[in-house]
């Protein structure tokens, strides 16, 4: 990692260690179904996406192929905001803030314009995220269950050239009953400061959320092979020996960043496997 990036991660890690997420007003959530397997890390140009985690499968399809699927860090930050607000308000209807700047600051984004600016990314990825059809399924020799859903029943997003300009109407979304139920019944607690610290890498965000979820119920050391991890996290690497090696290299690099902000995670590698050992979850389960 670049020296400046590493120094920033260490500084934010110290702040996280000094004060628990709830006490710091940084308690956030993710929907469990979108933590167990992940959406695309980059634009593949495809309208269909599958990730596997054992018997679990996450399938995403684009309702409108001209819009495409969400990818990168921004939709992950939006998902966390949606889940966190749903838990906080216990409402399906969520208001995205009085201005675009307010909303972006809550996501940990700095409003910038231009083709590659965060405002453009927010517009594009919001459209892609709310365009996705999602299927979560569990299939083994004893059961075959699945749930199909979209994220919203209604959305009204107002964009302005001036991100500090208040809209005539507040931007809002109404979550679908099924997605809202998934959040309320199966929330994964996360520290939003960690999400903001890792926001430049979608894989690092995925690893962080997955680890704090797995550590919340892990009772004994568990070994996971690199092909299994690649099926879960993907990231567009080829399904062959070289692809697995490249995935392992990339995953290991991002894992190092995650362990800076989540140093309690007890992880080892041996004989081509990642070994998870019982650890304190980064954010404790809700009581």
CA distance 98 to 133: 28
User: pLDDT, tens digit, for every residue of 100-136?
Assistant: 888 888 899 987 776 657 888 999 999 999 999 999 9
Q: How far is CA 54 from CA 58, 198, 213, 230, 231, in A?
A: 11, 26, 16, 12, 9
Say which residue, 162 or 141, is predicted with more confidence. 141
Residue 53 or residue 21, greater confidence: 53
Residue indicated by tokens 């599958």: 50
Distances in whole angstroms, Cα of residue 98 to Cα of each of 80, 86, 101, 158: 19, 18, 9, 10
**What DSSP element (H or E) covers 132?**
strand 132-139
Question: Cα–Cα distance between 149 and 143 in angstroms, integer?
Answer: 20
Other beta carbons within 10 Å of 144? 10
- The per-residue pLDDT for 171 is 87
Task: Give 63-92 pLDDT, tens digit per residue.
Answer: 999 999 999 999 999 999 999 999 999 999
Pick the residue with more confidence: 214 or 97?
214
pTM: 0.91
Say whether pLDDT at 98 is over 80.
no
Q: Is 90 left (phi over 0), alpha (psi -120 to 50) or beta?
A: left
pLDDT band at 10 (very low <50, low <70, confident <90, very high): low
pLDDT at 25: 81
């Amino acid at each position: 990692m670049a020296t400046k990036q590493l120094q920033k991660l260490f500084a934010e890690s110290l702040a996280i260690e000094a004060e628990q997420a709830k006490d710091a007003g940084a308690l956030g959530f993710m929907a469990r179904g979108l933590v167990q397997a992940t959406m695309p890390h980059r634009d593949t140009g495809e309208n269909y996406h599958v990730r596997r985690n054992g018997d679990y499968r996450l399938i995403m399809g684009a309702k409108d192929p001209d819009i495409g699927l969400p990818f990168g860090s921004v939709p992950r930050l939006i998902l966390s905001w949606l889940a966190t607000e749903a838990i906080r308000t216990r409402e399906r209807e969520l208001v995205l803030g009085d201005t675009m700047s307010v909303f972006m600051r809550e996501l940990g984004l700095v409003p910038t314009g231009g083709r590659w600016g965060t405002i453009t990314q927010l517009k594009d990825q919001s459209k892609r995220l709310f365009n996705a059809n999602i299927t979560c399924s569990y299939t083994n020799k004893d059961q075959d269950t699945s749930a199909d859903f979209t994220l919203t029943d209604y959305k009204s997003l107002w964009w302005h050239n001036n991100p500090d300009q208040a809209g005539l109407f507040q931007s809002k979304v109404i979550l679908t009953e099924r997605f809202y139920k998934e959040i309320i019944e199966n929330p994964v607690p996360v520290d939003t400061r960690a999400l903001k610290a890792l926001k430049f890498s979608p894989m690092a965000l995925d690893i962080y959320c997955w680890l704090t979820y797995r550590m919340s119920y892990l009772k004994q050391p568990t070994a996971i092979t690199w092909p299994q991890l690649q099926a879960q996290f993907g990231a567009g690497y080829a399904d062959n020996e070289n692809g697995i090696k490249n995935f392992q290299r990339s995953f290991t690099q991002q894992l190092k960043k995650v362990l800076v902000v989540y140093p309690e995670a007890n992880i080892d590698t041996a004989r081509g496997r990642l070994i998870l050992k019982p650890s304190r979850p980064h954010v404790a389960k809700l009581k």
